[in-house]
Structure 1
């Protein structure tokens, strides 16, 4: 399911005081949405850096260590989606600017911002045996929904994807 909606159905998007990296509201009380941000300014090796950052968030939020096969598969899906979105920013833009991971209830949202002008889309028709071009197909298959946010007057875009927690 490919979309250009800025947010998935029913999601009002980021709200003021959405928790920041600490997971608390500005007043210091626990927030419903936990968020972590990683700025890539001047970083090298951004794909492994992004995966490590995402893995730390999964530990912090209780997705890891995995208690069973379903939970382990859900965590691996998150890491794969992070890798694919960051890799796409490296290949098709000037590299990623920021990775944002947010968890609210049983949905985890991954956002990768870059300065690229391209429009990500799964390659069609998809041919499994062909090298390359599988990133957005993988994202589409693993995620509940995904899309692109563009802000008028601002260069670049944010590609987002949402994954569900295991039952």
Structure 2
């Protein structure tokens, strides 16, 4: 089983999300067998969304963990906030979002939120390989 972990901070939010995407892309490129191109694109999209949400709503820092299984990729993002992601009506006019969590849930075979005993949470999405 292949694994990777990256610490991400909001010193430069756009750069932090780009770092997470690049790290995920590098991780996926090293897997044997490699995921299908569409599956890899989906993993990158979910990484981008979960890291963006963690940085925006989760306290300014997060850790991205990727784990490759024979049949899928597990994306886990850990942040210090206890607040669980929630479904909400997307804001089509005000730019306040609401699209990401529903999208992640549609793309993933499973999602979960686990609250950590020391505080914070882990948001996990399992994606096809």
Q: TM-score, normalised by structure 1?
A: 0.68
Residue matched to 1:118: 83
Distance 2:57 2:33 in 1: 30
Residue matched to 2:125: 161
Aligned length: 125
Contact 1:147 1:159 in 2 (8 A): yes
Distance 2:60 2:32 in 1: 30
Residue matched to 1:92: 57
Deviations 1:12-53 (A, max 9, x none): xxxxxxxxxxxxxxxxxxxxx210111225863210000000
Structure 1 gap segments, 5+ residues each: 1-32
* Larger strand percent: 2
Q: Once the 2 structures are TM-superposed, how far is the Cα of residue 96 of structure 1 from its aligned partner? A: 3.3
| Aligned match for 2:8, one of 40, 46, 61 | 40
* 3-state SS of 1:116 partner: coil
* Larger helix percent: 2
Structure 2 gap segments, 5+ residues each: none
Q: TM-score, normalised by structure 2?
A: 0.86
When the two chains are superposed, the root-mean-square deviation of aligned CA atoms in Å is 2.1
